[in-house]
Amino acid sequence: MNEHFWWHLSRASGIVAWGLLLASSLWGILLATRLLKPYDRPAWLRDLHTWLGALTVLGTSLHVAAIVADSYVHFGLADVAVPFASSWKPVAVAWGVAGAYLLLAVQASSLLMRRIPRRAWRSIHMSSYALFVSVSVHAFTAGTDRTADAFQAFGIAIVAVMLGATALRALHRGSPRTRVTLADAA
């Protein structure tokens, strides 16, 4: 096995998880705003949103596991689980640790959605925006690829898309609008 395997895997999985977080967030915004009506199917959007969220957790788990397995910079469990415990770029790593906890909270609230009050679920789910900020700051400050032109272009594109989607979400605040079907209109 290549001596840099875990390092490459940690970098790649972190970038992919960031992209999956964007995709899950976009699908959640489309679901909440119903911007695709009358073409959308809420059950399909919800399933895709849930699937993308699960893939984001998987990608993040792979990122963390690869960081711990890598021998270039030693990361123990405390380094990846406790904010500011890392001796390597403690603030930048803390943004990632905070993002991981926010991701777990959002995913756990989704799994418990029918068992917790709607208001609590919504409050936790809205922290997805803070999650995206935390992960973005982590990517731009901790990642070894942060100075590469391709990574910077990718990062700027991801942030720009999320800012645009957030603006659309703010414009379409409130409860999701129900879709009017042809049968309802007749």
Note the pLDDT tens digit of each residue in 53-74.
Answer: 999 999 999 999 999 999 888 8
Is 93 within a domain? yes
Is 182 within a domain? no
Is 183 within a domain? no
Domain count, the chain: 1
Evaluate whether 176 touches 34 at the Cβ level (below 8 Å).
yes
Is 70 within a domain? yes
Q: For a pLDDT cut of 70, what percent of the chain falls above it?
A: 92
User: What is the Cα–Cα distance from 96 to 186, expressed in whole angstroms?
Assistant: 52
Is 104 within a domain? yes
Is 141 within a domain? yes
Residue 177, pLDDT > 80, answer no
Residue 156, token pair as written in the block: 């700027």
Domain hosting residue 49, numbered range: 5-174
User: What is the Cα–Cα distance from 144 to 140, expressed in whole angstroms?
Assistant: 9
User: What is the Cα–Cα distance from 23 to 141, expressed in whole angstroms?
Assistant: 22
Supply the pTM of this predicted model. 0.88
- Find the largest Cα–Cα distance for the chain: 67
Is 179 within a domain? no
Is 115 within a domain? yes
